[in-house]
Amino acid sequence: MKQAINSFITKHGLIEEGDHLLVAVSGGPDSMALIHYLMELSNIKKIQLSVSHVEHGLRGEESKKDAALVASFCQKYSLPFYLYEADVKKKKRQQAMSTQDAARLCRYEWFEHLMHKLGTTKLVTAHHGDDQIETMLMRQLRGSLSGRKGIPVKRMFAGGYIIRPLLAVEKTKLLEYCATYNIPYRKDQSNDEDKYLRNRIRHHVLPFIKEENPKAHHVFQWQSEVLADEEEWLHHETKRVVDKVMTLKGSHKIVVSLEAFNEVAKALQRRAIHLILNYLLISHQLQFDRSHIEAILDLIRQEHPSGEVHLPKNITVEKSYESLIFSIKTPFLKEESEDQNKELVLPLPGELAWATGTISADTFNGKMPLKNEPHDIFIDLNKVSLPFIVRTRRAGDRMSFFGGKGTKKLKDVFIEAKVAKGDRDLWPIVTDSHGTILWVPSLKRSNEGVVDDKSENIVQLTYRANT
């Protein structure tokens, strides 16, 4: 076993002289074999070891005994030991995620904190060859795209790397190693339960695979590495085309040109959608499955010029004429939108922060050269009733329009400008004190308050949208 791990470490350049390794040790046979192996390796290579254990608080006294075992082992061999008692249930409530996902998030937040604190270069975890098979099968069943490559041997994390040297060996070899060296370990009884998909694969599918091919872990690991190389190339290609098709990229909104997207090779379209979704949810690490991606593709292909798809984490994908709009409605934006419905006074002079951007007002006394920009208008203050009010649209809204006669429905203004339905409810509308619409920023101004040669008391209104 040692030889297989040594060769794997050398092949992938996992451990080098002078490394300070933070080793994640749960107390199970895999991680206990790992720390013992690394202790022996430290006698050959000049590496420093620190041990971290996370007590999730989910299994009562059993998990406390796990922590005690790891602490005792580290004390016996004079290894620096760092214990973290995580509040997984609280994290689960805060993030609205499963217990397993919350536990994982707690672990890796702690590992990141500890790596920065200790100045360690690498985090070592005890994922092994059987874990690789289980992970690849799980992701295949769930319809993952990039996840097909399985568990990476090495990836960037917390300014350093996560490395997994045990992917070279299967579980039985680790158990044999523990028996040979009389290494103590604890058994997590929850691993025997079939309520988790991973356990069901481990108990019912993995034995069949091993029976067909006793070296299956080598085959899956080889496939994982090949797929990882291919995924890296495909990711760069996808990012290149996504950068071309995006017309707007904001923290809560991404707009894509449908014409440009339809020219993307079909082999990359699904990946492009997946990448765009993850741009919006970069901090959530949410995995989108096949049904989500296909629903968006169906929306794109339908003949109707508009439509919507609603996804987890408050994401909406809207087809609107020549655009595909990906947006995320955060609690922050929701609170903002509720405030906007109350009508806000625009300071004169001054500025007003809006959910979609900022409106500013600058006053001028005397004549001035007027340089109209797409997002600016000039109003004769002597021709309107103050104060200016900024609000959202209302049912039945109508406005006059500069250079025309009569009035027009505000709804028609949005339709003609091809404004997506999801944007209309938050679009700022500027009125006078009587509710007469003066301006729909970036779209249309009214016939009210038009500046002429006799105007001397002038205000310039400017709208700058968030990006």
Q: What is the pLDDT of residue 341?
A: 56
CB contact at 8 A, 99 and 58: yes
The label of the residue with tokens 């406005």 reads 399
CA dist list (Å): 285 to 124, 216, 313: 21, 29, 11
CB contact at 8 A, 344 and 389: yes
Burial 166-199, CB ≥16 within 10 A → b, else e? bbbbbbebbeebbeeeebebbeeeeeeeeeeeee
Distance CA 439, CA 324 (A): 26
User: Which residues lie below 8 Å from residue 135, measured CB to CB, with a gap of 6+?
Assistant: 150, 151, 198
Half-sphere exposure of 394 (CA within 13 A, CB side): 15
Please tell me whether the peptide bond between 312 and the residue prior to it is cis, using omega within 30 degrees of 0: no
Q: What is the pLDDT of residue 356?
A: 81
CB contact at 8 A, 54 and 106: yes
CB contact at 8 A, 255 and 418: no
The label of the residue with tokens 């339908």 reads 302
Q: Residue type at 121?
A: T
Q: What is the pLDDT of residue 340?
A: 45
Distance CA 428, CA 346 (A): 11
CA dist list (Å): 340 to 388, 389, 429: 14, 11, 10
pTM (2 decimals)? 0.66
CB contact at 8 A, 256 and 244: no
Distance CA 380, CA 362 (A): 12
Q: Residue type at 278?
A: N
Segment 431-445, tens digit of pLDDT:
998 899 999 999 999
Residues of the chain below pLDDT 50 = 283, 285, 331-340
How many other C-beta atoms lie within 10 A of the C-beta of residue 421?
Answer: 16
Which of 285, 284, 275, 287 has its CA nearest to residue 249? Answer: 275
Distance CA 417, CA 288 (A): 32
Q: What is the pLDDT of residue 118?
A: 95
Q: How many residues does the chain have?
A: 467
SS3 sequence of the chain: CHHHHHHHHHHHCCCCCCCEEEEECCCCHHHHHHHHHHHHHHCCCCCEEEEEEEECCCCCHHHHHHHHHHHHHHHHCCCCEEEEECCHHHHHHHHCCCHHHHHHHHHHHHHHHHHHHHCCCEEECCCCHHHHHHHHHHHHHCCCCHHHHCCCCEEEECCEEEECHHHHCCHHHHHHHHHHCCCCCCCCHHHHCCCCHHHHHHHHHHHHHHHHCCCHHHHHHHHHHHHHHHHHHHHHHHHHHHHHHEEEECCCEEEEEHHHHHCCCHHHHHHHHHHHHHHHCCCCCCCCCHHHHHHHHHHHHCCCCEEEEEECCCEEEEEECCEEEEEECCHHHHHHHHHHCCCEEECCCEEEECCCEEEEEEEEECCCCCCCCCCEEEEEHHHCCCCEEEECCCCCCEEECCCCCCEEEHHHHHHHCCCCHHHHCCCCEEECCCCCEEEECCCEECCCCCCCCCCCEEEEEEEEECC
The label of the residue with tokens 């680790």 reads 174
Copy the structure tokens of residue 147: 């996840």
Q: What is the pLDDT of residue 419?
A: 84
